[in-house]
Amino acid sequence: MKKKKDDENLTPWARYQKEHNQRNRTKKSSKLGGAKRGTAKKHPGKKRNKLTQKKVRQPLHIGKGIKIGLLSLIGILILITIYLCAPISRVQTIAVQGNKRVEKSDILKKVTVRKNDVIPATWFKERGDEARLIHKLPDLKDAQISVSLLGNVKIKVRENAVMGYVVRNKYYYAVRQDGTVSKKSATQPDGDYPVFRQFKDNQVLKRFLSEYAKLPNEVQNDVAEVDYTATKKERHQLHFFMNDGNEVYAVLNTFAKKMKYYPEISASMKKGELWTYKSVHTRIRGGKVMNRQLVRRRLTRRKREVNRPVAKKFIKC
């Protein structure tokens, strides 16, 4: 009550100063109390930095499944490292299979796989080496490379079939089934392959080989030599020398169709006998073989005297 009376007795200016002093005191006390409690206002940037620091400091909670996955991944990496460091991870042997005419050393030179190479690295080279072998070695028709985890490399190749040897400038060159001629020359033919002479044009040689491949194996095995004896009357005449001593005259466009009957005709002929195209033609009517038995009817037949001790058989088809 006394304070109220004193305030009433004060002048307006004194009352204003008193109220102003009281307000300043309350503000100071509030600032001091907030600083002690840690609730004082601070710069917004500092507050954000402290919040981020608090978030980083919080411990990470990793699930059980993630822990197992990480441990298994680490274990796999350790095993891979041990395997790569061990001698078993290196190429131990390189074997070549299926080659007859192509040398093993030539095949190994064309592949990039080498001994002591890391096995996983060779898996990325397989397809490239296979394509390189076929491209660099025309005598190879197919190539397949396999690498095992134990370090054993197998190179399986399949060679192009050799149809015979063509003679050019007194040298023999192997002729493949696709009509390509080998670049390697030889002074003598290798094996029991037939010899092809006077085939100067590669296109004619390819046409001949495409028809020659249609002959039965029995007939092909009996051919010793084939000469391309083109004349003005017959542009594509062929002269066959057979292993049984017979000689066959044929035409490039039709010899495959006619010579498939050669074993039957040769068996029925006598020494010195000449069979013409008509004799073979009697077997065929409308493109079908009418008889499996050799036709005994000989439309044109004549004896030919031969000045040699053993007479030859000449067959014209």
Q: State mean pLDDT over 214-224.
A: 90
Does residue 121 register a pLDDT over 70?
yes
State the Cα–Cα distance between residues 280 and 273, nearest whole angstrom: 14
Q: Which residue, 131, 125, 133, 150, is CA-closest to 96? A: 133
Stronger pLDDT, 165 or 36, i.e. the higher one: 165
Stronger pLDDT, 45 or 166, i.e. the higher one: 166
Does residue 102 register a pLDDT over 80?
yes
Amino acid 73: pLDDT: 87
For 8-26, how does the pLDDT look when each residue is reduced to its tens digit (9 = 90+)?
Answer: 666 777 777 777 777 777 7
What pairing do the DSSP bridges indicate for beta strands 314-316 and 274-275?
A: parallel
151, 91 in Cβ contact below 8 A?
Answer: yes
Amino acid 271: pLDDT: 61
Task: Say whether pTM exceeds 0.75.
Answer: no
For 252-295, how does the pLDDT look when each residue is reduced to its tens digit (9 = 90+)?
Answer: 988 988 888 888 888 877 665 555 544 444 333 333 332 333 32
